[in-house]
Structure 1
Amino acid sequence: MSIVGRIVSYCTKHARAVVVAGLVVAAGSMAYTAGNFAMNSDSGSLISPDLPWQKTMARFDKLFPQRNNLILVVIDSNAADRSNSAANALAAKLSADPKMFPAVHRPDGGAYFEKNGLLFLPEHCVQDAMGKLVQAQPFLGSLAADPSLRGVMASLSTMMLGVNSGQAKLADIDAPMNAFADTLDRTNAGKPDYLSWQSMFAAGDASNKECSFARTRTFIEVQPKLDYSSLMPGETAENAIRAAAKALHLTPDRGVTVRLTGPVPLADEEFASLSENGPLMGLAMFLAITFCLWLAVHSARIIVCILLTLGVGLAATTALGLLFVGIFNIISIAFIALFVGLGVDFAIQFAVRYRAERHAVGDLDKALNCAGRGVGIPLALAASATAAGFFSFIPTDYVGVAELGVIAGTGMVVAFVLALTFLPALIKLVKPAGEAERVGFTAFAPADKFLRENRRKVLAWGAAIGVVAVAAQIAFPPQFDANPLDLRSPKVESMSTLNDLFKDPDTSPNTIDVLAPNLAAADKLADKIVAADAAEAKANHREPLVGMALTLSTFIPQDQPKKLAIIQDTAMLLDSTVNPFEVKPPPTDAEIVVSLKAAAKSLHEATAKPADGKETAADKEARSDAIRLAKALDVLADAPAAKRQAATEALIPGLNDLLSQLRAALQAEPVDIHSMPPALVAEWVAKDGTARIQVSPHSSAHDNKSMKRFSKAVMAVAPNATGTPITIEESGQTIVRAFVQAGIWSFIAISILLAFVLRRHRDIMMTIIPLVLTLVLTLATCRIIGLQLNFANIIALPLLFGIGVAFNIYFVVAWRAGAQNLLQSSLTRAVLFSALTTASGFGSLILSSHPGTASMGILLMISLGWVLFTTLFFLPALLGPPPQKADGK
């Protein structure tokens, strides 16, 4: 009796003790897991930190720690005043909780830019802006003295007096009238709106980017405290930001939209989408696996034994995994899928072989012992080969998969041991009924006959398909999508917001950072990067790849003396205007009604047609807007008080923000590095003097090819660059290299193992050739249907490798033992239903709302289909008639 047969015999004789021992191991494993379970969801830890580009990124992170793990808060409003004040208010509220938010930064605003923002505009824009403020002095003065709806109406009435007296024309004030009319019409209709005072007075034409720093979209960069023991480390901080925005009434019904994106929300929402419909998918997976097991073994008792064996094995593997690697990562946790997919194969192989032996010998104990002797060697060889394949990932730089290899390889050993100890003991205890019919597929007899009679044709067709597939791989190499963003659902807030930012090069997050010894060197290198790309673009007749290269010096305005002189002259004229000696108290509702009616009356008087009937197009448009505004004021005066309160909320907050910003802007002073806020300086110059350069792409295109070209253009001048585009490219190369290395090592290891056991070169080649054919057919199919390999679905390849090796070994060992008509045998039943069990279970991943997970399900189904094809049709033809034994029997 073989050693495996003796082990099975011993376990069946002491079935109760073996089962109890197995359950004790499971209970102990679950207790250990409960006390030591840890999960690291930091995707940055998945690749070896010793790689050059990882060291560059680590150095950057160390020098600028405030740039790590950011939440980007994107604030949108239809009024620039509103978005800016909303960002200021939210930033102040978040800064008040330094434990939850250690760093809060306004990259596009704050006190520094409000005070010195005009200095960043061209001189002619500053001149134009100051000129408009001087022209609006009377209007601004009355507003500053009475910043209320009453004050706005009084100012409007004053302007109409000027029109009626002939001192001004309606066309001169058409822009504010049109803005007031639009805002009040929407307010009267019950649609909250907010007037942008900045667009009328602050800095010229808001549509002219050169002369406007008013933006309806603002940003806050937040560095939160993260909890890496959670699958969503930033969830608490993100909820706190949303709660703060709600408390400040920064909501869509108040004209403000607050959205979160950036590395932290992207990672968190990815896990949220992964878990979406999780219970339903889990139930579907369980029912599908159970159904396939029923088709395989036709016994509820044996099914329970298999599932319980899988449960014990999974518990033991989880505990051993924690013991070996300490903390699971987002890749290594996939060992669960791999263990179930391969562990169920070992169990099905034993169970189906047991059924075949039970039909042959009748006795339960003899059937179990015979099954052990029959499947012992192929199971041991399959488990060893599969474990060797997983262990081959350990030496690679892809730490996530290396740790997965440790755990999954260990799991194969566990699954093998339990399939020959715990499972037979359980079957002995539950005493399933005997088998009345032969276990196998008699219906496959014509297929066996076809393969015998057309062996050469089948091999020729298999070889031809393989050659075509290989040629296709050479002509059209497999595509690996290294961009993790492509794996995420575009429907979640973080991704939809990010895609929105990608549309504008000025807001694209795909920037590259370069370090220089000091600011002077950074300025020179920034100019060199832009100039080199421009020269290359001109020489090759292409669009530039580099847009801007920013340093701290970018935030020091040019031509300050001239601009400051213009601003200071205006400040002398407007000081008493924007800083009145006396401000009126808030009005009563009755006073507001009186002011509304007075303003409406003055508008009606100003809209009378000229006596001579001559009117320009601009005059007609202005008169139409004035009539519309007068009607809106009449409606508002007769409406309930709540409507007037809504109008106040639509007009006055923006007015107060405008007045506050004007007061700050008129106090602009000379700017240099020493007068800059320390937080701004720290964003660009580290404590040791190392300066940062931020390079932005020229185009809004953010596809992988564009980002690769952009990265190459920057790294041609600055090889030490880092950033998202470079990280994506380098991590993709690292992962592909890891799988190639692991493939080579596993091929060598499995070849040595097969050589040691099978000893004949021909048998070794017949085990490996179908596996190679499966791989090239799988990759060719992916290329045809447009399925790219990515971070998620590439994990399916080890499962494909493991199942393919196992199935081929089963057939080769059976063939060496003299088995004929393989397709009719119980082995084919075991292989077929093992594959179907795995496919039905993990095929449900296709239904996932997470694109990466869904692509894993698709790749698994494709690979399993080709595994079955090569194993059940190509391999039997390749094997041919079984070898004759030495004695001729």
Structure 2
Amino acid sequence: MSRLDRPFRFVTEHNLVVLLLMLLVSAGVVVGIGQLQTQSQMNGSSAVGDTEVAQAMEYIQANYGTSESESNATSVSPAPVYVRSDGNALSKAALLDSLEFQQRALDNESVAAALGDREPFGVANLIATRAAGDPGASLDEQVAALESASASEVESLVAETLTEGSQATALVPNDYEPGTASAESHRMLFRFESADAGEAAAERRTAATATLYDLADDREGPDYFTLGEHAIAESNANFNQQTMQLIVPVALLAILAVLAFAYRDLVDVVVGFTGVVLSVLWMFGILGWMGIPAGFTLIIGPVLIVGLSVDYGLHVFMRYREERGEAEDIREPMARGLSSVAVALGLVTLTAAVGFMSNITNEFAIIKQLSIGITLGVVSTFVVSLTFVPALKVTVDRLLERVGFDRAKRPLGKTRLLEPFLTGGVRLAKRAAPVVIVLALVAGSAGAVAWTDLDRQSVQQDTDGIAEWKQNLPGPLGWETSEYDAYADYVDAHYRAADEDARSSSQVLLEGDVTSPSALAAVETVRDSAGEQAEVFQRAGTVPLRSPLSVMESVAAENDEFAATFAEADTDGDGVPDRNVEGVYDALYAAAPEEASQVVERTDGEYRSLRVVVPIDGDATIAQQADAMQAVSGSVSAEGVDAIAAGVGTLNEAELSQTTDSILTTLIVALAAVGVLLTLVYRVATGSAALGVVTSVPIVLVTALVVGGMYLLSIPLTLLTSLLLSLVIGLGIDYNIHVSDRFAQELERGQTVTGALRTAVTGTGGALLGSTLTSVGAFSALLLHPHPQITSFGTLVVLALSLSFVVAVFVLPSLLLLWANHGSPDAVRSESPTRDRPAAQD
């Protein structure tokens, strides 16, 4: 009896005791789920601030003042309500309807409390007050005045109000023709307290915007809609509901279908799936008890642990089926099977934990937390799969056999259809092992080279909407387009931000000799370059950016003393001072210190940097923003002046670059750690350190092939896909360890090299095939999802698991054959035609 037999005989012989103990332990562990911290740690990176861009943003926040409009924005922030009509949204009837909407809104206590003494502001109000002849007319007076005006009078009032250059044109679409009385839509603004004005103000604003959302949703006639937090929340809820209704059932159906194929037994499917669920619950329960935030583990954790748990269960069940002889009781073969797979599963758990925990060195908090969560899940799966699952299997099978059901089943890899397929790798190894290895290494090298050519994005944004074929899927499989997305696209295309300061913007920080004329020439270069970028917002053909020059121009228009200083410093009349620049800054601070502090940094009387704020078009993706702003900052070539683009796009780009470097380091560390670990373990277990090296080589190959697959399938390198790349090691090493360990076991049992290879790829390989098909089927369901980030996630995992299986079954046998022929004298000496037979039973 081996040392491993004793604990596993206890599991099988005292199965009811084990079940009871495991249920009690599970109950205690699962209680921890109630303490689980579910908040996302996406922005919890300790690496932020290490990049030049992040440091520039922090510098701007610490050293630049806030404009009056920005200060006001902290106390008052408009909540727009849009009105769209199939006819004319500026007709008398449509404008009256807007005023009636405002009346209903003001009757609500929440809206009135959040507004305070501020009135709603919109096109209807401007026209109605003009009709009443009193700018201070109350809402009731506005309604009365508009009702008494004729339709033609209203048209005249519209044309007189919405004139060229009027601020009122911000309330109608960008394509509105000033002076006309027709538009497809308009908007009204409810100037509520800002959520930044305190907790009480935030609560009042939330209640008020919820009322506006409900009123708009109930309105008939013209189409009323809002795009605030409540619209977003409902859109997300609908999106998640569609995901649950489509993706989850398809994934579960795929898992159950493949498990039914692999087990060909309903009872085993149920028993195995019970272990899967328990493993996931253990992972989250332990996280809860340890007080570790779940973060991204909530999304990726269950998916990966389900795959590993299915894999562990298949190995336990298939080895039990192989071990059980005719007329043999259940307990003894289950104990032998567990002791046979325990070493492989233990190695898989250990190496997977090393692969995952190598991410603990990563600078990003989200990756650290994910590595801990997945590692706990792997350990939980190992414990559950070797205790609870076999105990439950023994209990159920013994009960069924007592009532007359035969529970002896054939392992998957030994079936007539699959055995020839699985032994293909052995046939290749016998005929041309060196050729197989060389071809695999060439393919892997090509994949590794593709690393530098991968498309890099901080996140994948859904710019194309839901593909038409996904909308046209039959019945409940079809995705419904989001009403919110349609409204948001319309507003982005037809309106500028309701509060211009709220518009998405980026910045350029100019440092160096900022008192030289070349510094202001650099500001002019930034303005010219920004106008050439399609991603930069423009109004009437110009970019409304805020810079030292734009502030100087606006102050000069109102302050004669500064205007004289400004003109005197501009010797060539191009609007850019080319002498006495420091004197111009002094005069600007003297005339308008608040405005000057927004664009020119003065610390301890010394001018140290300049700031240019560039508005970004609402349609620009994060990657497009980064490219545009890097082009803008890159256009500056002034001597003694450095330009850094600092915004959402460039920050994400910088962090992605840092993440990429970090992931590459993590991959190398993990591969080295796993290689050393396997070398030591196999040296002790089999007397051959070389077998550990041979087992490690395929995971390097799989990682390189996955990178090549990403390149061929145009999967970008994002934060999410980078995370998954680092997890490929933990997933892929599983397959190789099982095949190598089974091969070594069969050699010890007295089989020849060829016989041992054949048994390994049909017995263990059959379980690997079932595991691969299960995981691939589940993750393939994600390809139905409309968001590219999710489909990339699904595609990458399918790619990694499929390649891991192919390499383990069709490439690893060639490596093992060469190892046996040249690195293991004991294995070579065991080669004998008379011993080329199936493994002896214990």
TM-score (norm 1): 0.65
Identify if the C-alpha distance between structure 1 residues 103 and 414 changes in structure 2 by more than 3 Å, giving closer, same or farther.
farther
Q: Quote the offset at 1:285 in angstroms.
A: 2.5
How much is the aligned-residue C-alpha RMSD, in angstroms? 5.5
Q: Specify the alignment match of 1:137 in structure 2.
A: none
Aligned positions of 1:34-183 closer than 5 A: 34=34, 36-41=35-40, 43-45=42-44, 48=47, 51=50, 73=80, 75=82, 147-148=145-146, 150-152=148-150, 179=155
Residue 481 of structure 1 aligns to a residue whose secondary structure is coil
Contact 2:312 2:345 in 1 (8 A): yes
Q: Specify the alignment match of 1:435 in structure 2.
A: 408
Identify if the C-alpha distance between structure 1 residues 888 and 503 changes in structure 2 by more than 3 Å, giving closer, same or farther.
same
1:462 pairs with 2:440? yes
Code of the aligned partner of 1:550: R
Identify if the C-alpha distance between structure 1 residues 733 and 145 changes in structure 2 by more than 3 Å, giving closer, same or farther.
closer
Q: Specify the alignment match of 2:138 in structure 1.
A: none
Deviations 1:319-344 (A, max 9, x none): 11123344322455421111111122
Identify if the C-alpha distance between structure 1 residues 428 and 101 changes in structure 2 by more than 3 Å, giving closer, same or farther.
farther
Q: Which moved more, 1:845-854 or 1:20-29?
A: 845-854
| 2: CA distance, partners of 1:550 / 1:484 | 30
Contact 2:679 2:689 in 1 (8 A): yes
Contact 2:451 2:708 in 1 (8 A): yes
Contact 1:396 1:742 in 2 (8 A): yes
Residue 787 of structure 1 aligns to a residue whose secondary structure is coil
| 2: CA distance, partners of 1:337 / 1:473 | 26
Q: Quote the offset at 1:482 in angstroms.
A: 1.1
Residue 18 of structure 1 aligns to a residue whose secondary structure is helix
Aligned positions of 1:850-865 closer than 5 A: 850-865=787-802
Contact 2:32 2:289 in 1 (8 A): no
Residue 786 of structure 1 aligns to a residue whose secondary structure is coil
| 1: CA distance, partners of 2:101 / 2:631 | 38
Structure of larger gyration radius: 1
Contact 1:276 1:849 in 2 (8 A): no
Q: Quote the offset at 1:386 in angstroms.
A: 0.6
| 1: CA distance, partners of 2:437 / 2:697 | 12
| 2: CA distance, partners of 1:683 / 1:243 | 37
Q: Specify the alignment match of 2:348 in structure 1.
A: 382
Contact 2:255 2:774 in 1 (8 A): yes
| 2: CA distance, partners of 1:144 / 1:251 | 23
Deviations 1:417-447 (A, max 9, x none): 2222222222221226453646633553462
Q: Quote the offset at 1:555 in angstroms.
A: 11
Q: Specify the alignment match of 1:164 in structure 2.
A: none
| 2: CA distance, partners of 1:223 / 1:863 | 51
Give the alignment partner of residue 356 of structure 1, picking from 317, 322, 341: 322
Q: Quote the offset at 1:835 in angstroms.
A: 1.0
TM-score (norm 2): 0.68
Contact 1:225 1:237 in 2 (8 A): yes
Give the alignment partner of residue 258 of structure 1, picking from 210, 225, 229: 225
Code of the aligned partner of 1:834: S
Residue 75 of structure 1 aligns to a residue whose secondary structure is strand
Residue 225 of structure 2 aligns to a residue whose secondary structure is strand
Aligned positions of 1:531-542 closer than 5 A: 531-534=524-527
Q: Quote the offset at 1:381 in angstroms.
A: 0.8
Aligned positions of 1:763-842 closer than 5 A: 763-817=691-745, 818=747, 819-822=756-759, 825-842=762-779
Deviations 1:679-738 (A, max 9, x none): x9999999x999986322489754724533414634977867643223321332243233
| 1: CA distance, partners of 2:654 / 2:529 | 23
1:324 pairs with 2:290? yes
Q: Specify the alignment match of 2:475 in structure 1.
A: none
Contact 1:349 1:375 in 2 (8 A): yes
Aligned positions of 1:471-482 closer than 5 A: 471-474=449-452, 477-482=453-458
Aligned positions of 1:231-630 closer than 5 A: 241=209, 243-245=211-213, 247=215, 255=222, 257-260=224-227, 269=235, 272-359=238-325, 362-431=328-397, 433-435=406-408, 437=410, 440-441=413-414, 443=417, 444-445=419-420, 447=424, 448-474=426-452, 477-486=453-462, 491-492=481-482, 495-496=485-486, 499-500=489-490, 509-513=503-507, 530-534=523-527, 547-550=543-546, 559=557
Identify if the C-alpha distance between structure 1 residues 503 and 885 changes in structure 2 by more than 3 Å, giving closer, same or farther.
same
Percent pairwise identity: 18
| 2: CA distance, partners of 1:502 / 1:411 | 43
Residue 259 of structure 2 aligns to a residue whose secondary structure is helix
Gaps of 5+ in 2: 134-140, 197-201, 399-405, 467-480, 538-542, 561-587, 748-755, 831-842
Identify if the C-alpha distance between structure 1 residues 755 and 105 changes in structure 2 by more than 3 Å, giving closer, same or farther.
farther
| 2: CA distance, partners of 1:323 / 1:391 | 19
Q: Specify the alignment match of 2:579 in structure 1.
A: none
Q: Quote the offset at 1:375 in angstroms.
A: 1.0
Q: Quote the offset at 1:59 in angstroms.
A: 7.8
| 2: CA distance, partners of 1:325 / 1:346 | 28
| 2: CA distance, partners of 1:146 / 1:791 | 58
Give the alignment partner of residue 161 of structure 2, picking from 188, 193, 198: 198
Deviations 1:598-640 (A, max 9, x none): xxxxxxxxxxxxxxxxxxxxxxxxxxxxxxxxxxxxxxxxxxx
Contact 1:378 1:813 in 2 (8 A): yes
1:695 pairs with 2:614? yes
Identify if the C-alpha distance between structure 1 residues 72 and 808 changes in structure 2 by more than 3 Å, giving closer, same or farther.
farther
Paired residues in the alignment total 697
Deviations 1:202-256 (A, max 9, x none): 9599789999999956777978769xxxxxxx99977852532554x69885546
| 2: CA distance, partners of 1:365 / 1:47 | 52
Identify if the C-alpha distance between structure 1 residues 743 and 7 changes in structure 2 by more than 3 Å, giving closer, same or farther.
same
Contact 1:265 1:494 in 2 (8 A): yes
Contact 1:94 1:101 in 2 (8 A): no
Code of the aligned partner of 2:435: K
Q: Specify the alignment match of 2:476 in structure 1.
A: none
Identify if the C-alpha distance between structure 1 residues 148 and 414 changes in structure 2 by more than 3 Å, giving closer, same or farther.
closer
Q: Which moved more, 1:209-218 or 1:285-294?
A: 209-218
Deviations 1:475-523 (A, max 9, x none): xx11132135348956545655555566589659541157899xxx99x
Contact 1:835 1:864 in 2 (8 A): yes
Code of the aligned partner of 2:440: G
Residue 226 of structure 2 aligns to a residue whose secondary structure is strand
Residue 615 of structure 2 aligns to a residue whose secondary structure is strand
Identify if the C-alpha distance between structure 1 residues 373 and 768 changes in structure 2 by more than 3 Å, giving closer, same or farther.
same
Contact 1:390 1:409 in 2 (8 A): yes
Identify if the C-alpha distance between structure 1 residues 101 and 402 changes in structure 2 by more than 3 Å, giving closer, same or farther.
farther
Q: Specify the alignment match of 2:17 in structure 1.
A: 17
Identify if the C-alpha distance between structure 1 residues 728 and 147 changes in structure 2 by more than 3 Å, giving closer, same or farther.
same
Deviations 1:271-314 (A, max 9, x none): 65244230443333333222322322333333332222222222
| 1: CA distance, partners of 2:518 / 2:496 | 21
Contact 1:5 1:370 in 2 (8 A): yes
Identify if the C-alpha distance between structure 1 residues 431 and 544 changes in structure 2 by more than 3 Å, giving closer, same or farther.
closer
| 1: CA distance, partners of 2:510 / 2:457 | 31
